[in-house]
């Protein structure tokens, strides 16, 4: 009888499989978190070209919440013996609530220094959509007191 009980316990313990798959998370931040970069150039006064680099760092701050750090720098081309750069434009958007795993929407009014001028109230709207390893962003900025509005559609590459 003892042998039968031992065999039954042995077979039960061998046949029981430990659940190795953790419970799937509903956190939407996983695919978006990372560093992204976009480059563009503009010509000023007909002959001064500045190449800009925009870098976004998206970090998880909580389940389904991210922080977006925006840093934009410019380099005057041609560079020559003296390097000319623009003052970096930096801003961080915190507590962006995610409602989908492949993108986000941001709509905020912030204090932002534009074109080396004084701080101005700017309404910023970003609609970001993750497509493969790229982040397509439709942006709209509006300077609150002057009413200047600009709209762009750009693609950030994930670094």
CB 149 within 8 A of CB 28: no
Report the SS3 class of residue 11: helix
The pTM score is: 0.75
Among 75, 76, 108, 82, CA closest to 94: 108
Among 63, 62, 68, CA closest to 36: 68
pLDDT at 132: 85
- Model confidence band, residue 27 (pLDDT cutoffs 50, 70, 90): confident
CB 113 within 8 A of CB 89: yes
Give the tens place of pLDDT for each residue, 45-103.
878 888 999 999 999 999 999 999 999 998 888 755 666 777 788 899 999 999 998 99
4 has a pLDDT exceeding 50:
no
Triad 127, 38, 123: Cα angle to 5°: 40
pLDDT at 26: 80
Q: Which is higher by pLDDT, 113 or 110?
A: 110
pLDDT at 44: 81
- Model confidence band, residue 144 (pLDDT cutoffs 50, 70, 90): confident
pLDDT at 24: 53
Report phi then psi at 147, rounded to 5.
80, 5
CA 104 – CA 6 distance, rounded (Å): 58
Q: Which is higher by pLDDT, 17 or 72?
A: 72
Domains defined along the chain, listed by start: 29-158 (2.40.128)
% of the chain surpassing 90 pLDDT? 45
């Amino acid at each position: 009888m003892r042998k039968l009980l031992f065999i039954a316990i042995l077979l039960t313990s061998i046949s029981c499989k430990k659940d190795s798959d953790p419970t799937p998370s509903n956190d939407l931040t996983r695919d978006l978190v990372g560093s992204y970069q976009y480059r563009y150039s503009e010509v000023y006064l007909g002959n001064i070209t500045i190449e800009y680099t925009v870098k976004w760092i998206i970090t998880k701050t909580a389940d389904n919440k991210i922080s977006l750090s925006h840093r934009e720098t410019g380099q005057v081309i041609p560079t020559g013996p003296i390097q000319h750069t623009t003052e970096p434009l930096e801003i961080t958007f915190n507590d962006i609530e995610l409602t989908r795993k492949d993108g986000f929407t941001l709509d905020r009014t912030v204090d932002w220094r534009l074109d080396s001028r004084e701080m101005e109230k700017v309404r910023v709207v970003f609609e970001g959509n993750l497509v493969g390893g790229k982040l397509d962003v439709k942006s709209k900025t509006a300077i609150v007191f002057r009413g200047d509005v600009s709209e762009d559609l750009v693609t950030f590459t994930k670094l």
